[in-house]
Amino acid sequence: MNKLKLFAFPYAGASATAYYKWKKHLSDEIDFKPIELAGRGFRSRDSLYRTFDEAVHDVYEQVEGLIDDGPYAFFGHSMGSQLSFELAYMLRAHGRPEPSVMFLSGRWAPHILRPDLVNPSTPHEQLIERLMELGGTPPELFENPALANTFIPILKADFYAMESYVYQGGRELLTAAFNVMTGVQDWDVNKRDLAEWGQHTTGPFSLHKFKGGHFYINDSFEAVIQHINRSLLSTVQ
């Protein structure tokens, strides 16, 4: 039997390496595929995205050829949630099957207009302070000028690309099961805004809370992995 594929999309500034440790903890019945974005990791020589549409087209080119007739799922955290949402629509527009399950993590519903978590035009020192507030970035990264000078331009480019995002209303709803996830101490992502994701699918909707802040996926790693395993294994049974 073919394994269920789980594609994972990074958050702003991150590389696919943020998910590498997941593989050995996910069920053997899950074929885990973290997607690398342009300008980082083994794609460090590729140009960073200028617009959100560029990012969606890029991940489409990576994912489209890996989808077969079996069920598959998306996991996206923060920016990755929005990427996976638009990717599902692009796949459908090209006649490809939609994901069976979408884990939408740490991001408000796409139709909600509000300032993003990070303002990319913020002065350097204030930007670092904001990143430290959010967590998820090792403090020692900012103590190493070479690492910081590599990371911050990627992060800023991602958030500038996010600023170009325009929500398209009036589209036929998706059909995936929406499994929305959040940290209970993530004060930047309103829980009511997370519940609004339910307006975008005809499939089942559920909202799950974990200990931790915006990067609860690190703070509650074991609970997150157990939740994903349970959710996906029930899909393939």
As a whole number of angstroms, the distance between CA 52 and CA 194 comes to 21
> Which has the closest alpha carbon to 122: 90, 87, 152?
152
Per annotation, catalytic residue among 78, 81, 100, 105: 78
4 beta partners: 30
Cα 101 to Cα 213: distance, rounded to the nearest angstrom: 24
Mention every residue, 6+ apart, whose C-beta is less than 8 A from residue 95.
none
Q: Which of 129, 137, 68 is nearest to 99 (CA)?
A: 68
User: Hey, what are 98's tokens?
Assistant: 């939609």
Within 10 A of 96 (CB to CB), how many other CB atoms are there? 13
Burial of 125 (0-12, 13-18, 19+ CB in 10 A): exposed
The reply to whether 78 belongs to the active site is: yes
Backbone angles phi, psi at 58, to 5 degrees: -65, -45
| Residue 205 to residue 101: CA distance in whole angstroms | 10
CA distance 132 to 141: 11
The residues that are catalytic are 78
